Structure formats: structure tokens, C-alpha cells
Amino acid sequence: MANNLVSIGTDIVECVRIAQMIEKYGEVFLQRVFTQKEIQYCSSRKAATQHYAGRWAAKEAVMKVLGTGWSKGIHWTDLEVTNEVSGAPKLILSGRAAEIAKERGIREVMLSISHCRSYATAFATGVS
């Protein structure tokens, strides 16, 4: 079955911005934005801030794919970024985000995430 492009989204974030949010709001910020699996994964990494920033950028890019922004009842934790065995990022949608994807005919959202000390970026593609 061929994948048909439905929509795309991209985002870039300064890693220091995410570090400042974590420092200022701590666990409240982490639990509002990231799932427990994401927190466990990112916190276990040497460059944890870069990984958190990458997931933040991925979630922002996916909101663009869904065409909603942070509205229509979507919560940050309705989007979970996990990793394939190969290390490739994989998106799991739940809640209202999954409903909107289904309404838009999006069967899968493919992700690419990159980061360095200063920036994290993500590109998302919604396919039917």
C-alpha cells in the first residue's frame, strides 16, 4: 500500500529554552509535556536536554501535521515519541490527537529528529 502525503510540519527549538523550562518548573513541566516513557528515556541520556528538546520539536511539528496547534482538546501527552529498535523515532498518538488524525485520514505520522548542543529540530509527515 502506497503512502499518500496528507500534511507536513517542522519545528526548531533552542535547547537552552527547554533547559530553562525544566530548571524553572521541574517535574510539573516534565509531566505536563512528556509521558513517563519519554521522561525515562530522556533522563537516561547523557545529553538529556537535547533529547527533551528534540521531543518538544517533534510534538510541535506533529501539531502542524494535525492542523490544530495546541487546541481542540489536545494535550502534550497525547503525543508520545518512542524509538524503534534501530533508534529511529516513532510517534504514538492517543486521546484527541488520535481522533483528529483519524478524521484527517492520517494513518501514520513519520518523524525525523536532529539535535546538537544549541538546537533541536524535527520534521513530521502525515500519511494516509
Helix spans in the chain (H): 15-33, 36-43, 48-66, 95-103
Residue 118 main-chain phi, psi, to 5 deg: -95, -40
Distance CA 42, CA 117 (A): 15
Per-residue pLDDT tens digits of the chain, which is 128 residues long: 567 999 999 999 999 999 999 999 999 999 999 999 999 999 999 999 999 999 999 999 999 999 987 777 899 999 999 999 999 999 999 999 999 999 999 999 999 999 999 999 999 999 99
Q: Which CATH superfamily is domain 5-127 in?
A: 4'-phosphopantetheinyl transferase domain (3.90.470.20)
Q: Give the start-to-end residue ranges of the domains of the chain.
A: 5-127
pTM over 0.85: yes
